[in-house]
Structure 1
Amino acid sequence: MRVDHFRHRLPGRAVGTCSPEQLGELVPSDRDVRYGRPAAAGLALGVRRTAVLMDLALTENGLHPDPAARLPVYGGGGRHQPDGALPDGAVPVLRPEQVAAASAFLRDSALGELVRQQNSVLARTAVHLGYPTPWSEAWATLVVHDLRELRDFFARAAAAGDAVAVREAE
């Protein structure tokens, strides 16, 4: 499976005690041999080629004015610099309260319905991004599946009081 983005749970206290660079070192990339164990334990989650589509399903057209809609896929940035850029080696991190908000948003959303409502936007985006196959029911099913995995991941992280780091695949 080719992963384009992944999330990794961190102890909530790490956000306040580690520098952005130290947090980045705690989070293995998807190609790192350290990734397999946390993924198997539910502490890491890869998202395969659907991150953009997932984000659009959650946020497009102002259907969800709740700021928590932007947190699950690309959210975070807990330690951004004033200009919005992260230092080299740093990763965006959702603090435990943001993880709880993202979890509540995903839990309370009809994920399949959100994908269905954005069908035409998602189809145009798949073409624009050059996906090898056109938008279809199979793609919609995959995006809903990935959103449900994300919902379950955030639910476990929120229950544990964890922070969540978001990293792009290298």
Structure 2
Amino acid sequence: MSARLVRHPSAIAGVEVIERTPLADARGVFERLYCAMDLAALGGGRPIVQINRSLTRARGTVRGLHYQRPPHAETKFVTCLRGAVWDLALDLRAGSPTFLQWHAERLEAGRPTTLVIPEGCAHGFQALTEDCELLYLHTAPHVPEAEGGVRADDPRLAIPWPLPLGERSARDRALALLDDDFRGIAP
């Protein structure tokens, strides 16, 4: 038996849950987190160019919902290394049949899953435990001038966060609510 990756599509095109099959024996565990041969198509054929790690200390904290505008749009592969989070992808793609719909997964250490957030989707999460550590693989480098965001508590989205919204950055709290004229992100 070898370490392998199994893809599970969601109702939103490009948002997928990757299930890993760890190999375990008396020594411990080996797990393949990413394999270009198996997963490169999810990133539009673009290579992984940046790897980031986040540590969120307080339960209830929300990070996001963040995205990058074209031509700096990115696909993210998100894995939880410690703790547990409710990880969410929000479809912002103009003309998408699932525009403004979201898909969320519980990601947690010890559960071998990764959430794939494609270009044109915003990403955010809520920490369900203390000291949550996430690993992000990106198909584009971070470009501050291309940053965009959607408020986690936007009533138009009606996201039922599992816990009351805890800490958020000043930037995330200051994001404008989506107005009726918002038609999405053009590719």
How high is the TM-score relative to the length of structure 2?
0.24
More strand by share: 2
How high is the TM-score relative to the length of structure 1?
0.25
